[in-house]
Amino acid sequence: MIQRIQTVYLFIVSVLSVIVFFSPIAAIITKANVFELSYRGFISSPPIDALHSSTWALTLVGALIPVVAFVTIFLFKKRKLQVTMCYINFLLIDAYYIVAIASLWFADQQLALPSRWSYHYAIILPVVNMVLTFMAIRAINKDEALVRSLDRLR
């Protein structure tokens, strides 16, 4: 049913993922510039055109996470598929971190300047999404166990 607790968990995952998508997640700080990483790529302040690093993979994975979570809400009649979609979302969240770290590393190598990395608050939200997705999986499995136990009584 759509009013189950896993719906709340998955909706929160969708909302938090949209927040992460539109927020800068990290920055590369050099002596002269700050390059912030977001879905649009690296944006520097003050504006210069020194860093040309592709972040299409980060944008793609970041856009898929809320879509998969939101679609999963409406698969409430197919609980096994719903669990599978939750596992896929879990893997997408892992991939988001891998792609973000790889993007930062490659951009840092391209700059070839002394720099340091800084993380914004939005980098923590995918971890919250992982916990909420895990809680949704547990709730879906409880529903499946309840339905199976009711089938035995018939």
pLDDT by position in tens, the chain (length 154): 567 888 999 999 999 999 999 999 998 888 888 888 888 888 777 777 666 677 888 899 999 999 999 999 998 888 899 999 999 999 999 999 999 999 888 888 887 778 888 889 999 999 999 999 999 999 988 888 888 887 765 5
Sign for the CA dihedral angle at 65, 66, 71, 73 comes to positive
Largest CA distance in the chain: 72
Q: pTM for the complete prediction? A: 0.86
Q: What is the pLDDT of residue 46?
A: 72
Sign for the CA dihedral angle at 128, 90, 9, 120 comes to positive
CA nearest 24: which of 100, 116, 91, 99? 100
CATH number 1.20.140 given to 5-148: yes
- Residue 107 CB contacts under 8 Å (≥ 6 apart), including other chains: 28, 35, 37, 42, 51, 53
Q: What is the pLDDT of residue 70?
A: 94
Q: What is the pLDDT of residue 66?
A: 95
Q: What is the pLDDT of residue 29?
A: 85
28: tokens are: 């590369």
User: What order of strands is seen across the sheet that includes strand 26-29?
Assistant: 41-45, 34-38, 26-29, 116-119
Q: Where are the beta strands (DSSP E) in 22-149?
A: 26-29, 34-38, 41-45, 116-119
